[in-house]
A and B are shown apart, each in its own frame.
Chain A
Amino acid sequence: MSVVETSPTRLEIPEPSQRRSFGSFLRDNEIDTRMVGMIAVLLAIWVVFHFLSGGTFLTPRNLWNLSVQTSAIAIMATGMVLVIVSRNIDLSVGSMVGTVGMVMAVLQTEWLPPVVGTGNSWIWVITLVVGVILGALIGAFQGSIVAYVGVPSFVVTLGGLLVWRGFAWLTASGRTIAPMDATFQLLGGGSEGSLGEVGSWIVGGVACAGIVALMVNGRRKRRRFGFRLRPMWLDVALGVFGCVVVLGAVWVMNSYYLPENLAAQYAEEHNIPIPDGGLQIPLGIPYPVLILVGVTLAMGFIANRLRFGRYIFSIGGNPEAAVLAGIKTKRTIVKTFMTMGILVAISAAVSIARLNAAVSGLGTLQELYVIAAAVIGGAALSGGIGTIPGAIIGALVMQSLQSGMVLIGVGAPLQDVALGVVLVMAVAIDTIYRRRAATR
């Protein structure tokens, strides 16, 4: 075909050399500029709070606690991204955490022990499985009303917010259930709920190897198909950066030691002599964080590598086009809400394990933080746009702000004000940035 295009099309004009910026460099090499920006903001927040708090923010103890506190919200935020991408919303997650959490608590403390024997090592497994199934069922139920009856998700999940909060109370008649099963408790982190030094290094090593493998495989695939390769130095730099971050995080986790008395107890139990300076037993990666990492990998895989994820994005981008392409949109929506439900169950498990108790108010207001995390991470409520890693960073940003404010002594009401302001500012900046990018 030899038709000459006389009308200039936007991306066919080569950029004049003055326009080549860091931003266009990143874009040309398929690096998400927004993500880079967000990481920069997160680091800035950390540094600022470190100074404001007189050097207590960037300590292993604080960062360890920060990571555990972020987990519950971040786990759910990964699912909320997909819900928001599909042009829906789920306001009921906090209340669902309440119901599923209470059910899991009562199951492991009151219903299972008489049946399988107290302290049975299967209790935590059965509890978790039941919780996940319950979460999936509630999610599928809400999703079906949205997809098949056509009630807007805002309304369905608003109803759910009320209904599941009520059920949370009804499950145990408003009682507080505590403590949890001994093994189940480990899911919440804490002195015994972490991997320990060796385990953490192993995980770090595996993660690093995984990053390198992904880079190598990515390059090989591009070469095989004849696609443009990123410059070698960039790929190497990214790989090294990834490994440094992962191993650095493991090092931080391993720098948080058991409190002295617990260390002494451990030493006694294991017949280890206590050296003069005191025994330092590193805690390592807490289980909630490990769970979060697993969830993130799984959700990232679903969003990017499975048809299910692609269909969610297409429904968000153009629901009509999705239908015309033969995609089973209703089924996809139900599955999206079901996934959210499963993540709610996992998050609830982590929360009740960490608190070692379940109250009927469990999870109250969490839906707001989860949505805020997803949105700060780049999910657009108009649908079609959002990333899983973005949601994690969004959750980290919010939790860092909150913990930082606690460290410097800001009261709870002012914390709420600050978080709300940050949320709106983040989306405002994003909106302006997107508008400018679209008209450039």
Chain B
Amino acid sequence: MVEMRDMSVSFGGVHAVKDVSIDLHPGEILGLVGGNGAGKSTLIKTLSGAQKADSGEIFINGEPVTITSPRDAKTHGIETIYQTLALAENIDAPGNMFLGREMITRWGTLDDSSMETAARTVMGRLNPQFQNFKVPVASLSGGQRQSVAIAKAVQFNARILIMDEPTAALGPAETEQVRQLMRQLKSEGLGIILISHDIHDVFDLADRISVMLQGKLVGTVNKNDVTMDEVLAMIIIGKLPDEVTTKELEQLHG
């Protein structure tokens, strides 16, 4: 569904991303992992329109596309849930869901009632207990805010969802809720790119895992073909499962 070929991004003289190729199939969750500074966020920003790539091509459903802004990405059905959630604290849930894409009445004014109704419908699917549609999102808990961010993606019929550290700031119950959501969306045929530093999360949810180290792609593996340690080895040492020795694997755990 999505193919990113030989993507490169440099800042000054530093190669944040160098010749990385990943792809995503419908109905699958691709885990994108790597240590700090590996380049995962930068790579994904080229897909979400928040960053321009210096070179490389992006294909969606086989067609080459150019993505130069967040709006471009959204037109292609790509929705992103940023690590910082990118929510306006002073605006309520429906306002945030429709930010930049508000529903308008025929006189050109904001159609708050329709937006609230749409928000209630979507949230009803994702998080039926959520009722706080009129308060600023600043008063919501981490899990509720995450569901607002996800609802935004669902409302606009995302086919490709990028989730950058979705459970980083959540407690165990809320994390489980997000995981359920992701499984549900996957079963609806969405492709999800999941960036996470939590190897357990990735192993629980992802079908395939792409590992980056210092801007380069170490490799992409099927979750069922590898162990967590082998993936850790890819993240930390940069060696593929068939290259790494047992001794090195043991050393990972200090």
Instruction: Judge whether B241 is part of the interface by a CB distance below 8 angstroms.
Output: no
> B124 to nearest A CB, angstroms?
10
Secondary structure type dominating chain A contacts: helix
Check B128–A321 contact: CB distance below 8 A: no
Measured in the bound complex, the distance between the Cα atoms of B117 and A318 in whole Å is 24
Check B184–A325 contact: CB distance below 8 A: no
Check B86–A221 contact: CB distance below 8 A: no
Q: A1-B127, A326-B74 are in contact. Are A385 and B90 (CB under 8 A)?
A: yes
A contacts with B, residue count (CB < 8 A): 36
Measured in the bound complex, the distance between the Cα atoms of B184 and A18 in whole Å is 41
Check A384–B50 contact: CB distance below 8 A: no
> A123 to nearest B CB, angstroms?
34
CB nearest to B128 among chain A residues: A1
A384 proximity list for chain B (CB < 8 A): 88-90
Q: A325-B70, A326-B70 are in contact. Are A318 and B102 (CB under 8 A)?
A: no
Which one of B100, B116, B173 contacts A326 once the chains associate, using CB atoms below 8 Å?
B100
Check A317–B110 contact: CB distance below 8 A: no
Instruction: Judge whether B65 is part of the interface by a CB distance below 8 angstroms.
Output: no
Measured in the bound complex, the distance between the Cα atoms of B181 and A384 in whole Å is 31
B127 proximity list for chain A (CB < 8 A): 1
Interface string of A214-230 (1 = CB under 8 A from B): 00000001101111000
A310 proximity list for chain B (CB < 8 A): 91, 95, 99, 102, 110
> A149 to nearest B CB, angstroms?
21
Instruction: Judge whether B131 is part of the interface by a CB distance below 8 angstroms.
Output: yes
Interface string of A299-326 (1 = CB under 8 A from B): 0000011110010011011101111111
A9 proximity list for chain B (CB < 8 A): 140-141, 143-144
> B9 to nearest A CB, angstroms?
18
Q: Which of B50, B82, B91, B172 has the most CB of A within 10 A?
A: B91
Measured in the bound complex, the distance between the Cα atoms of B127 and A327 in whole Å is 28
B141 proximity list for chain A (CB < 8 A): 7, 9-10
B102 proximity list for chain A (CB < 8 A): 307, 310
Q: Which of B90, B144, B173 has the most CB of A within 10 A?
A: B90
Instruction: Judge whether B239 is part of the interface by a CB distance below 8 angstroms.
Output: no
Q: A7-B171, A327-B100 are in contact. Are A316 and B90 (CB under 8 A)?
A: yes
CB nearest to B113 among chain A residues: A225
Q: Residues on B close to A: CB < 8 A?
A: 50, 69-71, 74, 80, 82, 84, 86-91, 95-96, 99-102, 104, 108-110, 113-114, 116-117, 125-129, 131-132, 134-135, 139-141, 143-144, 171-174, 176-177, 180-181, 184
A-B contact list, 23 entries, CB within 8 Å: A1-B184, A5-B174, A7-B171, A7-B173, A9-B141, A221-B113, A225-B116, A226-B117, A227-B113, A306-B110, A307-B104, A307-B110, A310-B95, A310-B110, A314-B90, A314-B95, A316-B90, A317-B88, A317-B90, A322-B99, A324-B82, A326-B74, A327-B99
Q: Residues on A close to B: CB < 8 A?
A: 1, 3, 5-7, 9-12, 30, 221-222, 224-227, 304-307, 310, 313-314, 316-318, 320-327, 384-385
Q: Which 4 residue pairs across A and B have the least CB separation, nearest first?
A: A325-B100, A317-B88, A317-B90, A384-B90
